[in-house]
Amino acid sequence: MSANSPVRPVMAADIRARKGGAPLVCLTAYTTPMARLVDQHCDITLVGDSLGMVVHGLPSTLGVTLEMMILHGQAVARGTSRAMLVIDMPFGSYEESPAQAFANARRLMAETGCAAVKLEGGRHMAETIRFLVDRGIPVMAHVGLTPQAVNALGGYKVQGRGADADRVMADAQAVEAAGAFSVVLEKVPDGLSRRITSALEIPTIGIGASAGCDGQVLVLDDMLGLFTDFRPKFVKRYAELGHAADEAIAAYAAEVRARRFPGPEHVFPDELKGEKP
């Protein structure tokens, strides 16, 4: 392939073929600049409904709308050329019926150019996943802790401990049988995550699960440390950009108040003396 050849984006079949191979790398993105950074290093870029909390300050994902997902999906698409672009279907956009799910998934794909959608739920969503897949819409499934069902689950608790392990395993097997090309395991114990990964023929992507999963996903803002007061157990901070940004903003404010910014190098003279206009 020549240097000028177009980059072929990662597709669902490519992700499925990675089962048991090199671990899949996935991060969220919500804006074009961040998408460009993620695209250089990741196999999958996920426009997660976590944008409700991360970008819009909502208390949960439940208030996220389809229009919000489309808006951010379009922004991320502008910064994505290689990674597979997957977009979350928000709460209320797919649960009513397979037909409702198809209409909204079709709109997501048509208006953003994404390669797949992600939806939450196990056995009770299998019919909907099959309906979408049969109509040409690749689906990434999501079982274990499903944040859109946080009220029914009683909070953001680990799922699949003790006797509950059978339920999570059955959910994972159901979404595979329905045609999902991969499945996110969220807040599922290490041992169970490994058993599910071994039992399935599609890749598992862990978040708060196990290093034994076929891949990992994190919320970009969490792993960059943009939130100084949010430290879930399953997130490793690879930077502390929140503190760095706070210090930078404080320094800017101090210089403005002291009239040290802008300096002579930041303003334009009345007459050009060799400087660029």
To the nearest whole percent, how much of the chain has pLDDT over 70? 96
Read off the pLDDT of residues 27-46 as tens digits, 9 standing for 90 and up: 999 999 999 999 999 999 99
Read off the pLDDT of residues 111-143 as tens digits, 9 standing for 90 and up: 999 999 999 999 999 999 999 999 999 999 999
Q: What is the pLDDT of residue 136?
A: 98
157 is in an annotated binding site: no
Q: Taking residues 178-185, report their average pLDDT.
A: 98
Give how many domains the chain has, as a whole number.
Answer: 1
Q: What is the CA radius of gyration of the chain?
A: 21
Q: Which of 208, 175, 177, 176 is nearest to 192 (CA)?
A: 208
Q: Taking residues 173-198, report their average pLDDT.
A: 98
Residue 268, domain member (yes or no) = no
Task: Reply yes or no on whether the pLDDT at 229 is more than 90.
Answer: no
pTM: 0.94
Residue 271, domain member (yes or no) = no
Q: What is the pLDDT of residue 276?
A: 64
Residue 266, domain member (yes or no) = no
If pLDDT is split at 50, 70 and 90, which confidence band does 264 have?
A: very high
Task: Reply yes or no on whether the pLDDT at 5 is more than 60.
Answer: no
Read off the pLDDT of residues 48-85 as tens digits, 9 standing for 90 and up: 999 999 999 999 999 999 999 999 999 999 999 999 99
Which domain CATH number covers 17? 3.20.20.60
Residue 178, domain member (yes or no) = yes
CB 219 within 8 A of CB 236: no
| End-to-end Cα, the chain, rounded Å | 42
Task: Reply yes or no on whether the pLDDT at 1 is more than 50.
Answer: no
Task: Reply yes or no on whether the pLDDT at 243 is more than 90.
Answer: yes
Task: Reply yes or no on whether the pLDDT at 2 is more than 60.
Answer: no
What's the token pair of residue 12? 């669902």
> How many angstroms separate the CA atoms of 180 and 139, rounded?
5
- Domain containing 146 equals 12-240
273 is in an annotated binding site: no
Residue 52, domain member (yes or no) = yes
120 is in an annotated binding site: yes
Across the chain, what does the average pLDDT equal? 95
DSSP state string for the chain:
--TTSPPPPP-HHHHHHTTTSSPEEEEE--SHHHHHHHHTT-SEEEE-TTHHHHTT--SSSTT--HHHHHHHHHHHHHT-SSSEEEEEPPTTSSSS-HHHHHHHHHHHHHHH--SEEEEEBSGGGHHHHHHHHHTT--EEEEEES-GGGHHHHTSS-----GGGHHHHHHHHHHHHHHT-SEEEEES--HHHHHHHHHH-SS-EEEESS-TTSSEEEE-HHHHTT--TT---TTPPPS--HHHHHHHHHHHHHHHHHTT-SS-GGGS--SS-SS---
Q: How many residues does the chain have?
A: 277
CB 222 within 8 A of CB 202: no
Read off the pLDDT of residues 189-216 as tens digits, 9 standing for 90 and up: 999 999 999 999 999 999 999 999 999 9
182 forms beta bridges with 140
Lowest mean pLDDT among 141-145, 183-187, 232-236: 232-236
Q: What is the pLDDT of residue 63?
A: 97
What's the token pair of residue 166? 């059978």
Task: Reply yes or no on whether the pLDDT at 3 is more than 70.
Answer: no
Residue 82, domain member (yes or no) = yes
Residue 257, domain member (yes or no) = no
> How many angstroms separate the CA atoms of 245 and 179, rounded?
43
Q: What is the pLDDT of residue 4?
A: 55
Which residues does the annotation mark as catalytic?
Answer: 186
Residue 251, domain member (yes or no) = no
